Homo-oligomer: A and B are copies of this chain.
């Protein structure tokens, strides 16, 4: 994550991942989620904070999820079911369950199918937010498979040449195991920046860079700006402008939209702007159905090591393959704690008091 998005030192309150998991689990339970699912949801969110992906950790998400549980927009006890199935596929109606919790279950179904026929793909509709989809992709990598996950929903991003924010940020995640090297783990919005990053920038008083957003008419802003008021800007697909490849960001966004909403048989959020539902897709490719697993993992090691040992460009210290920085951050944060913004800790203290559970323990 870029330096400008990090919580300024003066605003940091450090908490251990264990304490954070305990508090998040207890909040989920107070929302009506059973203990096992609450633990799972807490693991997804706190692992994301450990990886340094603050945009999708507890800071931005817990407040929204509790609001949605309280408004009954999320179902804490979903009766989710498979609506159609083939040996390699399944489509899940999530009954408004949070996909942070149902995502790992869907990926496990995909993994089981992949063990049998080589590939498993599970789509999910009528569900809540998925959290950081890299977590779900990683579950497949932990089983010696390639994991892929996509999610779509919301309207925030302009198509190339467009002025109406018809696209979601539609992220794509991909994970593949190596032998000694940390996993290749890519997880990114197909917009120039994730929607959550704009909120995060606002919270840490960071400016937005040229090419990240458009003005209210859809013209890309090419100067560094403060975060505009909500409604006065739109996100751009990665690439920013057509000349710099925004049609590619737009195309990747359409892949995510098609593989999640449309393939699970529902309308794109583009056509249903009031919908609060998220749609997702979880894929596991069994490496051993294609080639020798050891060969694959050894080749991954060589490729990833070649990348991180390669000569950096002027002004840079190292090349980081996707997942490497986040792996280093996990090690650091497990020992030093997770730096939350003091406003986030304040929110935790308020909600835990309100729900009558112990306050979040600080380091």
Contacts and interface: CB of A to CB of B under 8 A. Distances in A.
A302 B84 contact: no
Q: What's the interface size class on A, roughly?
A: 35 or more
Contacts of A263: 146, 285, 287, 290-291, 296
Contacts of A245: 188, 192-193, 238-240, 249
A244 interface: yes
Number of copies: 2
A95 interface: no
A314 interface: yes
Nearest to A188: B248
Contacts of A267: 299, 302-303
A234 to B, nearest CB: 10
Contacts of A258: 146, 174, 176, 184, 300
Contact of A87 (B87, B193, B262, B313): B87
Contacts of A84: 289-291
A69 interface: no
Contact of A254 (B89, B174, B248): B174
A337 interface: no
A251 interface: yes
Given A86-B118, A118-B87, A218 B314 contact: yes
7 contacts: A2-B242, A123-B290, A184-B258, A186-B254, A190-B248, A218-B314, A271-B303
